[in-house]
Structure 1
Amino acid sequence: MEVPIAVLGAGSFGTCLAVLCARQHPVRLWARSAALAEAIERDRRHPGRQSGLVIPKPVSATSDLATALEGAAFVIVAVPSHAVREVMTQASRWMSPNAIVICTAKGIEFETGMLMHKVLEDVLVPSQHARITCLSGPSFAQEVAQRKPTVVTIAGTEEKYAIEAQAMLSCPWFRCYSTDDVVGVEVGGALKNVVAIAVGMSDGMGLGLNARAALMTRGLAELIRLAMELGGRLETLGGLSGMGDLMLTCTGDLSRNRQVGLGLGRGRPLEEIIAELGEVAEGVQTTRAACRLAEKVGVELPIAEMVRRVLAGEATPDQAGRALMTRQLGREYDPDRP
């Protein structure tokens, strides 16, 4: 059965999801820029990174939120994490009370330390909270656009709504698993970007594959520690939204966060790297927020803290690497240490 779908955010991933959903449903793709919406409508292509992706007629682009949201049964939130509160505060005025929300933003709000589902709960009415779901996992937009096999996780505190979203999104080249562990899925999706910057720095400095493996493994330990302290489950971090997304983002050169790290490791200024990317690298914003949240709940994130120091200009990548290698020795796993 066809149902109207709204996709908020016409970046790489939002556009790819709009095309994915349009195979069976009418989709309205919201772009903040009127010029971008007009270009998509006129040319049936995205003028940015996904310029090779043909946008079919079931997708209509608009810069008007009310138009995008009218009667939508599913609302896919595909804006950067720092824009979720602003966009969804406006969107809440026009959303159907029965719409299922699918958030793809991967980050932590700096001012509040909130994960994205908590930000959404903050701006939506209580009756809509159960319908909030979060999509995460190893999913480069370019490969989704090319219909290459992609497998992700969708989480909802009321899993029946995650299952509805799972059924709507899944197709022969895009498979979703469901879970009720929203915290685990969101922490994995947010913090893996920070670890990817660290791995990129190591690779940029030519420190080798041993160092890469160590950073990914100890980075996963940081994902697990923070997620479990916040109420997430261990098995989630060993799944697609934890280990899976971490592996992809740390090693795949399509990763913007990895590209930030590579540039820093090669001695380039952060501002120059960001300008060249042209799109948001979520890990840059998330690093400060994750470190602040970890300090608040009493969890050690040494890799994230070193990335924070490099991004803030308080240390060079070389100094950060040396600091990690000369930390106090200890057990690999200590159940009594957060």
Structure 2
Amino acid sequence: MTKIAVLGAGSWGTALAMVLADNGHEVRLWTHNKEQAADINATNQNRRYLPEVTLPKDLIAYDDMKKAVEDVTAIVLVVPSKATREICEKLNKVVSKPVIFIHGAKGIEPDTFYRVSVIMEKTLDKHISNGIVALSGPSHAEEVSKRHPTTVTVSSNVIEHAEHAQDLFINKNFRVYTSPDLIGVELGGALKNIIALGAGISDGLGYGDNAKAALITRGLAEITRLGARMGANPLTFIGLTGVGDLIVTCTSVHSRNWKAGHMLGQGAKLDDVLESMGMVVEGVRTTKAAFQLAILQKVEMPITAGLYDVLFENKDPKEVVDQLMSRVRRHEMEDLSSIMEDIYKG
């Protein structure tokens, strides 16, 4: 039996802990909230994030990080991307031997432009890390917790580490693929949240399926352009962690990024939206990072720039949509040509 600590008792952390417990592992689910840990252990439910879902009886919640990670061989980090540094610094003080780290966060750090695995690599002490793996794909926690069929991808710079994570998670309900393209897997998972905000805004404005289909398609082109420039394999973006995750996040009521965008499209202010959500909306922070990164890399990302104006410059969403529709006419294949140029340059 493998001992695994899952750090982060939100909806996604809890759902991943359930998958691991279903596979017969000894799973410790850590939360910084003492009351939440006690409630989970008393009720076998995470009533705040996954109400009406019964957790496996051998899934134990902890509020003491040191006890949660004691003697584990794997740590699954499922906290908001902005909390990654803080949690890794705490882990440096409580982890005593090398373990494999698997993260389920989807974000890019503004200013540094680090992906989550890079933040971890630069923050974790070398003597406690036995490899870093990213887990990503079209996977709403609400559906995973109900054991609905779900497929994800795990990726690492060392393929054996990804294969180890695959072995830990895969079962009849939760299919896991491996990928060697860590850059592409992480960028796809992070950048799709920007487009999901846009899809929500479009729906909030009352526009139909035509508009959303265009937004998703052109959004995928932006993601692929930036990804290719950053060294990712463009084919990754037509896989699970690209178009797969993009579709589910842009079209589902489970998506907190879509929900946030929908409220913005209906006229709500960003601060009010974030306060009412009660959970982190990763797309907001990622929009800022991607906007900065696109300027630095000289990559054209008009949808991202428009969303940046809505989120941080207080622009009217409808005005931004009108501006996007009025852009200079161009040939669709120009995007494919620019992506191919980046591939050949690499």
Answer whether TM exceeds 0.5 for this pair. yes
Residue equivalent to 2:9: 10
Contact persistence 1:72–1:95 (CA under 8 A):
no
Residue equivalent to 1:255: 255
Cα shift readout 1:240-291 (whole Å, capped 9, x = no counterpart): 0000000000001110000111111111222222222211111011110111
Contact persistence 2:102–2:134 (CA under 8 A):
yes
Q: Tell me the secondary structure at the aligned position of residue 61 of structure 2.
A: strand
Cα shift readout 1:77-113 (whole Å, capped 9, x = no counterpart): 1000110111111112333543111110000011311
CA distance, structure 2, for counterparts of residue 95 and residue 130 of structure 1: 12
Residue equivalent to 1:140: 140
Residue equivalent to 1:183: 183
Shift in Å at residue 31 of structure 1? 0.3
Shift in Å at residue 43 of structure 1? 1.7
CA RMSD of superposed structures (Å):
1.5
Paired amino acid for 2:171:
C
Residue equivalent to 1:152: 152
Cα shift readout 1:280-315 (whole Å, capped 9, x = no counterpart): 111011110111122122212110111111012431
Deviates more, 1:93-102 or 1:19-28: 93-102
Q: Tell me the secondary structure at the aligned position of residue 56 of structure 2.
A: coil
CA distance, structure 1, for counterparts of residue 71 and residue 251 of structure 2: 40
Shift in Å at residue 329 of structure 1? 2.0
CA distance, structure 1, for counterparts of residue 18 and residue 209 of structure 2: 37
Q: Tell me the secondary structure at the aligned position of residue 22 of structure 1.
A: helix
Paired amino acid for 2:83:
A
Residue equivalent to 1:106: 106
- Give the count of matched residue pairs: 337
Superposition map of 1:1-338 within 5 A: 2-23=1-22, 24-95=24-95, 97-126=97-126, 131-334=131-334, 335-336=337-338
CA distance, structure 2, for counterparts of residue 32 and residue 291 of structure 1: 32
CA distance, structure 2, for counterparts of residue 184 and residue 309 of structure 1: 26
TM-score (norm: length of structure 1) = 0.96
Contact persistence 1:130–1:156 (CA under 8 A):
no
TM-score (norm: length of structure 2) = 0.94
Deviates more, 1:7-16 or 1:323-332: 323-332
CA distance, structure 2, for counterparts of residue 177 and residue 67 of structure 1: 31
Cα distance 1:319–1:142, how it changes in 2: closer, same or farther (>3 A)? same
Shift in Å at residue 202 of structure 1? 0.8
Contact persistence 2:136–2:154 (CA under 8 A):
yes
CA distance, structure 2, for counterparts of residue 129 and residue 216 of structure 1: 37
Cα shift readout 1:134-175 (whole Å, capped 9, x = no counterpart): 000000000000100000010011011100100110110000
CA distance, structure 1, for counterparts of residue 85 and residue 235 of structure 2: 29
CA distance, structure 2, for counterparts of residue 215 and residue 36 of structure 1: 39
CA distance, structure 1, for counterparts of residue 280 and residue 261 of structure 2: 14
Deviates more, 1:158-167 or 1:34-43: 34-43
CA distance, structure 2, for counterparts of residue 285 and residue 316 of structure 1: 19
Paired amino acid for 1:53:
V
Q: Tell me the secondary structure at the aligned position of residue 94 of structure 2.
A: coil
Gaps of 5+ in 1: none
